[in-house]
């Protein structure tokens, strides 16, 4: 029976690997996800036949409750709420791993088995990473949901205090490895780790959430891997490592998209975020921004043959994705070539814009990544920027004193005309002025993204 168990675990691991492999193309991705789900089902079913399991009533209770909550969450959540959903799921994964590790600790404590050093080390690591992931993800969820402030939070002695907490946890961990039966110390590790999770994510500002979510995703995988070490189960180690790698890669991509180091993001915000400083020197060169209304804009588009739409977080906030899809349709009917340029850090999580536009039935081959479309801006008649700011700020290219200098941006200013839909001339997340608004080829189209796009669509239809 043991052999069957481990063979099925091997099959499940292979399912996970092939499942992720199929995510390399939108055509096969759905099958891939189903394959991974099948692997999970196999792993769960075969585990239920494990002879170490004596009673089933609590298991069934737990599975029914968990599955019901999962189904409700997955079917009710709106696509605009996806970052929160992913954040929350990360937290449950991390929390489960920490709980399993602690349960295993408690089981060994009350059995005659005795602790092995390697088991204790991995229990401590699993509890630490899992707990940090749990509360960190809850804070991330709160920030994205608007329950917790999305601003960069700073408090006195922030970094020394966090470093001290981490050192304390590690010291306690070493102590537990030497004296494994000290359950109070293990509980203290859990408590401090939970606090650490809150303090680590709290300072991270809203637009840095893609990094935080990716990092927590990676942690939830690593926590599962550590639990695999505790239980000496290769399948858990493999599955956790895949997720850990995935989260780390996404984290690196997000950091590169902002030209910042991971430390810089984790330690809290742009140097100037929300503060005084560079905003001041931008003011001198401020000219007047030209503004257009829907009618003028429609006439401008009427004469265009190519158009690139640049969506940003403002589109998500305004729930404008369907109006944007209508805009695409009406423009295409007029024979205009419409494409979308998606910056890697647009929105609040990796791929946020793509999911929203897919929901609005924009074909995925119209969505182009920054490196694939950036050279096409000079040959484009009209660019429409919807609710994006820092990712199209030319200061990143030219102004060495700017805090976002060096960040890769979409070169929208190279187009013949760039239209920027925003609610006001206010600064973006980085807290700096955007000189693009005052460029001779730039036009401001003020208004809420959804309303503004709908108005534009009806004007275009009338022409």
Partner 1 sequence: MDIFGLLMLIYVFVLAIFVGFELITKVPPTLHTPLMSGSNAISGITIVGALLSAGLGEVTISTILGVVAIVFAMINVVGGFLVTDRMLKMFKKK
Residue 42 near residue 8, CB atoms below 8 Å: yes
Q: Is 304 in the site for partner 1 (CB under 8 A)?
A: no
C-alpha span between 332 and 58 (Å, rounded): 57
Q: Is 401 in the site for partner 1 (CB under 8 A)?
A: no
Q: Which is nearer to partner 1, 103 or 147 (CB)?
A: 103
Nearest Cα to 432, choosing from 369, 398, 462, 389? 389
Half-sphere exposure in the Cβ direction for 350 (13 Å, CA): 19
Q: Is 231 in the site for partner 1 (CB under 8 A)?
A: yes
Name 422's bridge partners.
Answer: 446
Q: Is 236 in the site for partner 1 (CB under 8 A)?
A: yes
| HEC string for 17-81 | HHHHHHHHCCCCHHHHHHHHHHHHHHHHHHHHCCCCCCCCHHHHHHHHHHHHHHHHHHHHCCHHH
Exposed e or buried b for every residue in 146-162, given b needs 16+ CB within 10 A?
eebebebbeeeeeeeeb
Site for partner 1 in 73-112 (CB under 8 A): 73-75, 77, 79, 82, 85-86, 89-90, 92-93, 95-97, 99-100, 102-104, 106-107, 110
Outline where 267-414 has alpha helix (H): 279-284, 294-302, 313-317, 321-333, 352-359, 370-373, 395-398
Question: Which stretch in 44-52, 267-275, 422-430, 440-448 sits in contact with partner 1 by CB under 8 A?
Answer: 44-52
Q: How far is the CB of 450 from partner 1 (least distance, A)?
A: 19
Q: From residue 124 to residue 143, what is the string marking binding to partner 1 with x (rule CB under 8 A)?
A: --------------------
Site for partner 1 in 264-293 (CB under 8 A): none
Phi-psi region of 383 (alpha: psi -120 to 50; beta: other; left: phi over 0): beta
Q: How far is the CB of 128 from partner 1 (least distance, A)?
A: 15
Q: Is 49 in the site for partner 1 (CB under 8 A)?
A: no
**Count of other CB atoms within 10 angstroms of residue 121:** 17
Q: Which is nearer to partner 1, 199 or 222 (CB)?
A: 222
Half-sphere exposure in the Cβ direction for 389 (13 Å, CA): 19
Contacting residue, 4, 7, 30, 281, with partner 1 by CB under 8 A: 30
Contacting residue, 113, 116, 302, 375, with partner 1 by CB under 8 A: 116
Name 417's bridge partners.
Answer: 382
Catalytic residues: 390
Q: From residue 406 to residue 425, what is the string marking binding to partner 1 with x (rule CB under 8 A)?
A: --------------------
Q: Which is nearer to partner 1, 239 or 392 (CB)?
A: 239
Q: Is 194 in the site for partner 1 (CB under 8 A)?
A: no
Site for partner 1 in 341-380 (CB under 8 A): 342, 344, 349-352, 354-355, 358-359, 361, 363-367, 369
Contacting residue, 4, 10, 50, 114, with partner 1 by CB under 8 A: 50
DSSP reduced 3-state for 11: helix
Contacting residue, 7, 34, 179, 181, with partner 1 by CB under 8 A: 34
């Amino acid at each position: 029976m043991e052999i069957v168990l481990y063979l099925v675990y091997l099959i499940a691991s292979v399912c996970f690997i092939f499942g992720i492999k199929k995510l390399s193309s939108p055509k096969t991705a759905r099958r891939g996800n189903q394959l991974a789900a099948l692997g999970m089902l196999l792993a769960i079913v075969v585990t239920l036949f494990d002879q170490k399991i004596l009673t089933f009533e609590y298991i069934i209770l737990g599975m029914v409750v968990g599955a019901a909550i999962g189904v409700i969450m997955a079917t009710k959540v709106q696509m605009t709420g996806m970052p929160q959903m992913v954040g929350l799921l990360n937290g449950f994964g991390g929390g489960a791993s920490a709980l399993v590790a602690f349960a295993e600790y408690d089981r060994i404590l009350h059995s005659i088995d005795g602790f092995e050093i390697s088991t204790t080390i991995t229990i401590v690591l699993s509890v630490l990473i899992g707990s940090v992931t749990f509360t960190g993800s809850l804070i991330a969820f709160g920030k994205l949901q608007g329950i917790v402030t999305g601003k960069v939070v700073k408090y006195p002695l922030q970094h020394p205090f966090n470093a001290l907490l981490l050192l304390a946890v590690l010291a306690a961990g070493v102590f537990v490895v030497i004296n494994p039966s000290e359950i109070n110390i293990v509980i203290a590790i859990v408590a401090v780790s939970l606090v650490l999770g809150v303090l680590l994510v709290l300072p991270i500002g809203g637009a840095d959430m893609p990094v935080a979510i990716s990092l927590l995703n990676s942690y939830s995988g690593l926590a599962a891997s550590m639990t695999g070490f505790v239980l000496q189960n290769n399948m858990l180690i493999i599955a956790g490592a895949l997720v850990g790698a995935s989260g780390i890669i996404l984290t690196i991509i997000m950091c590169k998209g902002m030209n910042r180091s991971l430390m810089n993001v984790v330690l809290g915000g742009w140097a100037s975020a929300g503060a005084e400083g560079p905003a001041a020197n931008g003011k001198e060169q401020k000219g007047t921004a030209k503004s257009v209304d829907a009618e003028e804009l429609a006439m401008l588009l009427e004469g265009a043959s190519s158009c690139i739409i640049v969506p940003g977080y403002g589109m998500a906030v305004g729930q404008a994705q369907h109006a944007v899809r209508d805009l695409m349709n009406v423009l295409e009917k007029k024979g205009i070539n419409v494409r979308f340029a998606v910056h890697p850090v647009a929105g609040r999580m990796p791929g946020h814009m793509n999911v929203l536009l897919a929901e609005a039935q924009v074909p995925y081959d119209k969505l182009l990544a920054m490196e694939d479309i950036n050279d096409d801006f000079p040959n484009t008649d009209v660019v429409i920027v919807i609710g994006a700011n820092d990712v199209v700020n030319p200061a990143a290219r030219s102004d060495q004193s700017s805090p976002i200098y060096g960040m890769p941006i979409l070169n929208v200013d190279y187009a013949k005309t760039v239209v920027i839909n925003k609610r006001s001339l206010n600064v973006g997340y980085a807290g700096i002025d955007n000189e693009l608004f005052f460029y001779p080829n730039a036009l401001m189209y003020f208004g809420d993204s959804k309303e503004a796009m709908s108005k534009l669509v009806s004007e275009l239809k009338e022409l």
